[in-house]
Copies of this chain bind each other. A is one copy, B any other.
Amino acid sequence: MTHWIRFALADGSEGFGTLEGERIAEYHGDMFGTPQASGRTYALAELRLLSPCSPSKVIALWNNYHQLAARLEKAPPAHPLFMILPSTSVTGTGEAIRRPPGYAGKIVFEGELGVVIGRTCRNVSELEAGAYIFGYTCINDVTAIEILTEDPNFPQWGRSKSFDTFTCVGPAIASQIDLATASVLTTLDGVERQNYPLSDMIFTPAQIVSRLSADLTLCPGDVIACGTSVGVGSMKNGARISIAISGIGELTNHLQA
């Protein structure tokens, strides 16, 4: 299994490579094409991790876990329900989630599995979908929850989740994980808040990629946030929030006032 990451060096230059224990093996070229090892390695301490890809869009699912659907007393949807989040909302591990200027309300974490697309994908079957999945990452799909219901006529799913830094992605893209056994573990200031199995998904990654690709073209590096399950809650200013998924790693951010 490979863990792909992107990084910035002290001089501001950016690169990408694979995690090899405590070191990074640098690659050149296109992560989603045929990247070539440069032969150069870095210690993790020498660099700052970036979001492991720069998606042209993030597609964020709602109501995709049986346990949460049951808790909310919502029927499982007939098709993946989603909103589009912009590339500008994406940030990497270690970065601040910035409270929107002028917004003093609750900010909610949602630990999620992220699916990263590897090849341009349109109208593929569920059987074909796996070949278009580059790998898996951790997502914190942050929401300024009081904005969602601020207007009585229009639920603001887009705005409440589109603020800069509200889509935390990382730390790495794992080329494979065990979807049958892995769990999403969310920890807020050291206290476990979510711990749910990926096996409880209503639509699996292959089903999601197939269904979404019938609607809209998926591009290399695009990220699908597979929805969250029970245990979401709000974060205080300064809180430290981590999303860990077995086989991927741990995505950690903090809420900056």
Give Cα A123 to B163, complex, Å. Answer: 12
Contact (Cβ within 8 A) A214 B100 = yes
Give Cα A219 to B56, complex, Å. Answer: 13
Chain B proximity of A62: nearest CB distance (Å): 6
Contact (Cβ within 8 A) B151 A88 = no
CB of A74 within 8 Å of the partner chain: yes
Q: Which residue of B lies closest to A73 (CB)?
A: B153
CB of A22 within 8 Å of the partner chain: no
Give Cα A156 to B77, complex, Å. Answer: 12
In the complex, the count of this chain's copies comes to 2
CB of A84 within 8 Å of the partner chain: yes
CB of A200 within 8 Å of the partner chain: no
Total interface residues in chain A, CB < 8 Å: 42
Give Cα A79 to B160, complex, Å. Answer: 12
CB of A240 within 8 Å of the partner chain: no
Contact (Cβ within 8 A) B81 A159 = yes
CB of A67 within 8 Å of the partner chain: no
- Most chain B C-beta atoms within 10 Å of own C-beta, residue among A63, A75, A101, A157: A157
Interchain CB contact (< 8 A) of A86 among B56, B101, B152:
B56
Given contacts A88-B217, A101-B123, A216-B86, contact A63 B164 (CB under 8 A): no
Give Cα A102 to B84, complex, Å. Answer: 21
CB of A41 within 8 Å of the partner chain: no
Give every chain B residue within 8 A of A151 (Cβ-Cβ).
77-79, 81
CB of A158 within 8 Å of the partner chain: yes
Contact (Cβ within 8 A) B84 A215 = no
Give Cα A141 to B107, complex, Å. Answer: 31
Considering the complex of A and B, which 4 residue pairs feature the smallest CB-CB distances, nearest first? A83-B158, A57-B86, A88-B217, A84-B84
